[in-house]
Structure formats: structure tokens, C-alpha cells
Amino acid sequence: MTIRSILVPVDFSSASVAALRFAAMTGERFGAEVRALFIWDRPMDVPRTVMVGHSDNRRPLIEVMRENVALECDDLRSKLPEELRSIAFDIGYGRPAEVIVERSSADADLIIMGTTGRGGIRGVLLGSVARSVLRHSTIPVLVVPHHA
């Protein structure tokens, strides 16, 4: 198996930062491109039709929220250790496990992800997103604990 591209889903939790570090080392070792993917899932209680702004400058709320997600991602990325800031970051929209599997099948040879994310419950060995990705991925998945 040749590893040319590694996809790393991130939510900036300690587990995802550990996975990003491991992916950077793995990418360097195999000469593979490492791409981080931050996924935003639209809150179910925000309809696509809600508009915000003044009468002459109204925009869909969902558009404003997406712009804020991009700004938040940039802010969080700036707080990463220096050696990880050069990794390419993408933003995906939708249900995290579905987006990860879809993106990885299109252009990755390996997924490296944390065991649990920001929503992780203490004491749970594997989060629901990681479990779902393991179950549905068509490519290898390496799961990294937050203390790695």
C-alpha cells in the first residue's frame, strides 16, 4: 500500500491535536501530503431560510455562520504548535462521519483521527464519530489516543 495523502479530521480537542502530530510525523516518513479537515454541522434548529442584517444588506444566517466558522478555525489553527501550522486545512459541512468518509474516499489513502473529540464523554474509549468512520471507511483508519 502506498500512502500519498493523509486526511486528519480535527476539532481542536487534545485527541485531534495528538492525531495531527502523529499524522505530521507519518506524512514526513512516507512523503505523504497531510490535510486537516474541520467539519461544521449546521445546527438543526437553524433553518436555511432565516435572514439577518439590515433591509438593504440581508444575508442568510447560514452564510454568516459559515464565515464565522472559517474565522474560528483560523483562530484555533493559530494556537496550534508551530510545527503543525503549515498543514493544509479544509472546512467541510455536514455530519462529521459522513463528510470524513466521503472526503477520504475521494482523495486520501489513510485517515488518522483522535479517539474522541470535543463532545467526548470522559471514560469513553472511542467516540461516536471515530466509531462510525471505522465502520464505514473504505480506506485504513488509524485512531490516536489524546495522550499519544
Yes or no: is domain 5-41+83-144 CATH 3.40.50.620?
A: yes
DSSP 89-120: EEEEES-HHHHHHHHHHHH-SEEEEESS-TTP
pTM value is: 0.82
- Residue 10 forms beta bridges with which residues? 38
What pLDDT digit, counting tens, does each position of 53-112 carry?
A: 887 888 888 788 888 888 888 887 888 888 888 888 898 888 899 999 999 998 899 999
Which among 70, 64, 66, 69 is positioned nearest to 51, based on CA atoms? 64
Is pLDDT above 60 for 119? Answer: no
The domain segmentation of the chain, as residue ranges, is 5-41+83-144
Contact 87, 12 (CB under 8 A): no
